[in-house]
Structure formats: structure tokens, C-alpha cells
Structure 1
């Protein structure tokens, strides 16, 4: 099984196992068996070069694929690789804007981000304390509180619907001096 990366101008230089498998197929006339086309390469030129060479290959995820299908899927894989790169770049920029020190590992960087999230969660819980307390005073169970929060349009931490687990985590965040 080959797990090397094929990024870059000369993918075969960085993937000696693949290069060896292709050479063996070329010498013996065998077909190269790959799990998925996009794992072979996310580069149309590389796939086209493989198709032009004397080495046949079969992708297990689409064994009946003809040359046209392979070209289309290779183009899609290349497009998806570019989109992944764009999404990663955007996510890193957003993290940097939040104050995350990119490339820095260790407790200091993690601690700062964890503390920020904990402060946000504590604040969210404190803002809901009175509402939850009033529901409990009215005799509602936790499940009924979840139903009531969803029915009245109160959104959970990230803007979605409430679940029992989310409510229990919010209650656990409340100081012990705030009986629920």
C-alpha cells in the first residue's frame, strides 16, 4: 500500500512506491490497480500522461470507467483539490483574525483559545440562567425545557436547535450559587 504524497511538479519523484509499481506494470504488461482515482492523482495532466503511457490502470471506485469518464473525474478531482486549498487558506486566515498564532503549538496557544471558548460558553449559560430557572420553577423536566426552548425560538450556542445534552452542559456551567 502506497501512502506517499504526490503533490508538486514531479509526483513520481516523491512517490517511489508508485513509480516502482508503474515500472513493474510496464515490464510485465499488468494493469495498475488503485483504490480511487483521486488517490492516484488530483492532476489532469498526470492522469492523461498515465493514460497515454503503456500502463493500464483500473480504479476500484469506478472499474467500468472509460477514458472520457476518467478525464472528467480527474478534472473534478483537480478542481476539488483547488477548492480544498482555498477553504484551508480561508480557515487559516479566519483563525489568525481570531488571534490564533499559526504554526505555534503547545499549551500557551491552546490555552488561550480554550479560555476564550470557555468564557463565551459561561456567558451564554449565565444569560440563560433566569429562563432555565423559571422553567424549573414551573415544574418542567429537562426534556420539557428543551422542547420549550425550541418552541419559543431560543437558539442553542451555535444558533441551532436544542438537545438534552446541550441543556445539561449549560446547566453544568452555571455556578453552584445559581440553583436550577
Structure 2
């Protein structure tokens, strides 16, 4: 359930997408628990210049807790808008390991209102470690390996392998980098697809009309800045919105 609040600027900085979750259909209909989450989010953001560009509410039942379409929509919208995901309570996302891996893979910055504020790379590192037990374990393995190599070096063991195949290694690195960029571009097109379809369905018949609506919604173009007809055409050629 997307509630666009275009232009809703209040007195933290930047764009935010709010994700709320209630556990039963009855709570979802009555608003029990939801109002408290909304208030917690607004209290957390109070005292700066910020904008809630969208909000999504997940209504879970006892049988569909592993299916969370609104979370997927919220993360996609964060990527499209260049926004952070904000959640009232960390426990609402970290009870399930599947949630952890989803958030880590989403490449979206997440703010939990009930955690101390952390800024910059340290904050991102702490969040990723908290959300993903697998990443924590990988870090511990890397640390043990580093200490083992240092101890071996102290004993006089010669470290390092054959360096004669650097060209092949560089080629593999370039191929991996290209693959990452291609995957990121494909995911962005996938994220934009529902928004473009919605704009077309609402009556935008020209590329310029679509670009104008994207700009009005504050959706940044692929390299930032404003949308043009040519940019819309390139994206629509690679999506299935038509």
C-alpha cells in the first residue's frame, strides 16, 4: 500500500521511505500498532530537514510471514528515489534470517528508530553485520586467516603464490566489474517498471509526459538530475511497461 506524500517536508536530512508492519489482518484494519509506528518514525526524524517520499504497510498473517511484497516494493522505491528505508523497531525486521539477507542484498541504507544513530561507513558496517549472521561469520573467518598467515610468516613460511597469471586475473576482475554494473542497471529498470506502468496507466501518452511526471515525483534519473524524453525511451525499451 503506497501512500505518496509528495512534497511533505517537515522539521535528520534527506529522503526516507517508511516501512510499517502489523501482524494480523485485524490489526491492519483497526490501526492497532500502526499509529505507534508512524509516531515513532516521525519522532525519530524530528529536528532536521527531511521528506517522506513514500510509505508501505505490510499486513501479515500467520501463514504469509515469509511473503512480504510491501518490503520488496519499499526497497525498490528506495533505490529509485535514492532514499533511506526507515523502520520503527529493529525487531520487526531482524527476527527472520531471510529478512537479514534481503536487506543486505538490497543495497539500501536502513534506519531503525530504536537503535543509536551511527553515521558514515562505520554505521553501515555495523548495520550489515547486525542484519547478516553470514557476513559476521565471514568477517571472523577472515580475521582468523589473517592471524594464521601472520603467525606462519613469523615462523619463516614464505607466503604468496604464483604471480605469473596477472593478465588472466585482471580480465576476470574486469568481467566481474562489468557484471556488477549490468546487474545494477537491470535491477534499476526492474524497480522503475511499476512506476512507469502506473504513469502510463494514468494517461501519460508521450515520452515527455512520462519524463515530466517522473520529475514531478522527484524520481532521479540514472545519473541524477532530471529526466528527458530520450532517457525515458531508453528505459522503456528495456522494460515491459508497454
More helix, by proportion: 1
Task: Give TM-score, length-normalised by structure 2.
Answer: 0.28
Task: Give TM-score, length-normalised by structure 1.
Answer: 0.37
More strand, by proportion: 2
